[in-house]
Amino acid sequence: MAMDYLASKAKSQAVKHGKRAGAKVLQKMGAEGTRDPVFDDFNFSFQKQMAQSEKLKQEIGRYEHCLKEMKKAMKGLNDIMADFYEDFWPQAREFQLALQDQETICGNLIRDVHNLADPLRRYQINFVDIKERVKKRENKLMDYDTARRALDKAYNSPKVTDDKINKLENEFTAKEEDYKYLNDDLIRDIPPVLETRGPFVLQAFTTYFKAQELFCAENYKVAGALTQHVSALQGQQLEVSVGRERRGRQGGGQARSSGGGGGPKPGERTGQLNTRGGGRGQDPRGAPQGGSLRGSYDSRPGPGLQEPMMVDGGHIVI
């Protein structure tokens, strides 16, 4: 009995799929199909929003990936700049912290962009049920049109018996009810889903542009501070470290530190490096993916941003 039931069900499904395939072929050949302009308009907007949300998801992911690559490149550049800037030069400690803060700022933006996935996911959840019901409606519509064509053909054929026509009429009525039930429900339920676009845009876009605003504002302050720190080297006779462990110094004069105190005499080599309270080896580079800035910054631009160094013959004059 069970095998007979399964065989009968499989045969019924095969017939149903065959009829739907035939209905699709007839539609492609230009056969008249049932249309509902109200549903078509709503479904067009629904499909458009669904496609746009998927595109937005892809672009957010691509943007986040590019930001991570930018942060990686920034860290590489900042690390080598930190190596160039001697530990005992003026404002060396502040210069190192500002470089780390640049990476922190970038990490904060990456975090905020990544968090856009949450409101987008909540927005897209609204599409799942409607998408399934639209697909189901499409199948019911093909069943309905197939039953309608079969009934029209029977009406125009003198060889079809009344019993056959009654059977076709009952099938047509059942298919019509199934289709109209789904169609009317979707016409009622699609508009509220479309209206979720406004609250989503308000939340997600505001979050994104605030993150961008903060990123640009903090970067501006840190870049201004870095310019000031480097500008402090002007007019100095700067020493350079000597030896593999960078414990010695070599230079033509005393380098005045931002922390005060004397330095070696001109031409004198020392056996120990002035290490800014720990030194490069104990103050590892690499800021976290998100967090607070370690330096303190004035919101006003530094003088270096307003008065760039003079250039003479392609060389910066310090």
Instruction: Give the DSSP H/E element, type plus range, for residue 312.
Output: strand 311-312
What CATH architecture applies to the domain 51-302?
A: Up-down Bundle (1.20)
Of residues 266 and 73, more confidently modeled: 73
pLDDT at 158: 85
Three-class SS state of 300: coil
Sign of the dihedral through C-alpha 67, 68, 69, 74: positive
CB 226 within 8 A of CB 303: no
Chain centroid to Cα 290, Å, comes to 16
pLDDT at 50 over 80: yes
pLDDT at 251: 62
pLDDT at 205: 97
Q: What is the mean pLDDT of residues 138-151?
A: 92
Neighbours of 113 (CB within 10 A): 21
pLDDT at 242: 83
pLDDT at 240: 85
Q: What is the mean pLDDT of residues 215-231?
A: 95
Least confident of 103-117, 189-203, 227-241, 244-258: 244-258
pLDDT at 204 over 70: yes
pLDDT at 308: 38
pLDDT at 54: 97
Q: What is the mean pLDDT of residues 208-230?
A: 96
Note if the pTM is more than 0.75.
no
Q: Per-residue confidence at 239, pLDDT binned at 50, 70, 90? A: confident
pLDDT at 260: 39
Q: DSSP label at 32?
A: -
pLDDT at 294: 72
pLDDT at 96: 94
pLDDT digits (tens, 9 = 90+) for 57-114: 999 999 999 999 999 999 999 999 999 999 989 999 999 999 999 999 999 999 999 9
Residue 308, CA atoms < 13 Å, CB-side half-sphere:
5
Proportion of the chain above pLDDT 70, given as a percent: 68
